[in-house]
């Protein structure tokens, strides 16, 4: 399996769909809200893709889960990569738990959720990846950074 993080400035957003037809991308906007820009590309993004989200105390995994569920209703979202300053895997656990129709009762190092819901859940399953030390991890799948390529549209980082 190969995933490609595509770092794009908002001015280059029109080139994202072309790269998404070549690769399964993890889209990240470098100078605007990634989810909002991805949503604005909804009609152009016809192949399954993902987003790369940087979570923090100002943008916790709980809000990221809300945004991911909304984006999945607008576009063929299949992946979300979570990056954080620390305990990224724990943020990814929160996101995974909140991408269901179930009541969430959950506690870990980054969140305490009691009687939480994030409905409706995405229609298609979304794979949640955590990014730490140059690796994307989801369950037993572990992808390492292979190479970086610069194009007119932005920077592509390949994980395999």
CB 111 within 8 A of CB 63: no
Annotated domain spans of the chain: 3-159
Token code pair at residue 55: 């979570």
Q: From the centroid of its chain, how far is CA 23? A: 15
- Report the candidate in 48, 54, 2, 46 with the shortest Cα–Cα distance to residue 28: 54
Q: What's the token pair of residue 39? A: 């949503």
Beta bridge partners of 145: 159
Taking each continuous run of H as one helix and of E as one strand, the counts in the chain are 4, 10
Q: Does domain 3-159 have CATH number 3.20.20.30?
A: yes
The Cβ of residue 82 has, within 10 Å, a number of other Cβ atoms equal to 27
Structure tokens belonging to residue 15: 């080139």
Beta strands in 64-117 (DSSP E): 77-83, 104-107, 112-116
List per-residue pLDDT tens for the chain, 160 residues long. Answer: 999 999 999 999 999 999 999 999 999 999 999 999 999 997 899 999 999 999 998 999 999 999 999 999 999 999 999 999 888 899 999 999 999 989 989 898 888 889 988 888 888 999 999 999 899 999 999 999 999 999 999 999 999 9
């Amino acid at each position: 399996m190969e995933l490609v993080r595509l770092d794009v400035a908002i001015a280059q957003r029109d080139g994202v769909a072309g790269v998404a037809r070549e690769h399964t991308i993890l889209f990240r906007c470098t100078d605007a809200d990634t989810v909002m820009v991805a949503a604005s590309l909804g009609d152009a993004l016809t192949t399954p893709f993902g987003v790369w989200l940087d979570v923090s105390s100002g943008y916790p995994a709980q809000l990221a889960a809300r945004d991911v569920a909304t984006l999945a209703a607008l576009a063929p979202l299949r992946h979300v990569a979570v990056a954080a300053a620390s305990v990224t895997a724990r943020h990814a656990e929160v996101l995974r738990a909140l991408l269901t129709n179930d009541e969430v009762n959950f506690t870990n190092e980054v969140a305490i959720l009691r009687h939480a819901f994030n409905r409706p859940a995405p229609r298609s399953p979304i794979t949640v990846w955590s990014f730490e030390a140059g690796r994307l991890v989801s369950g037993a799948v572990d992808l390492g950074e292979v190479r970086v390529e610069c194009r007119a549209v932005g920077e592509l980082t390949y994980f395999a």
